[in-house]
């Protein structure tokens, strides 16, 4: 797994997290199962869009990295470092 790919993953991960956080309350507040499923599908599409909008990574690669990180603690730690770095880069300068 090269560093460039992991950096792209980190950027995509942060965007996917934003989507998850914005949809979670809507899904929890949905009155019907149909509404919940519709919102979950919409969130899923937005997550795919977020990954596709990140430079240098495909949805397949994103999923492969997530699966690899679940079984490889060193990779997970490396990814966490990139996520922290990417999150810092997204913060407005003080």
Q: How much is the pLDDT for 40?
A: 97
The Cα-based distances of 50 to 64, 68, 69 in angstroms read: 16, 20, 20
Tell me which DSSP letter residue 56 carries. Answer: T
Are 51 and 16 within 8 A, CB to CB? yes
Q: Is the dihedral of CA 53, 75, 20, 48 positive or negative?
A: positive
- Which residue ranges make up each domain of the chain? 3-90
SS3 93: coil
Q: For residue 17, name the pLDDT band (cuts at 50, 70, 90).
A: very high
Q: Which of 73, 55, 70 is nearest to 6 (CA)?
A: 55
Q: What is the DSSP string of 71-83?
A: H-HHHHHHHHHHH
pLDDT digits (tens, 9 = 90+) for 34-91: 999 999 999 999 999 999 999 999 999 999 999 999 999 999 999 999 999 999 987 7
* Model confidence, pTM: 0.88
């Amino acid at each position: 797994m090269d560093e460039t790919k992991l950096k792209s993953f980190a950027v995509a991960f942060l965007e996917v997290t934003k989507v998850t956080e914005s949809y979670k309350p809507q899904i929890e507040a949905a009155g019907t199962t149909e509404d919940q499923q519709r919102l979950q599908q919409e969130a899923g599409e937005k997550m795919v869009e977020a990954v596709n909008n990140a430079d240098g990574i495909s949805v397949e690669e994103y999923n492969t990295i997530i699966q690899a990180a679940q079984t490889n603690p060193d990779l997970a730690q490396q990814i966490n470092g990139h996520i922290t770095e990417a999150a810092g880069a997204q913060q407005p300068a003080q």
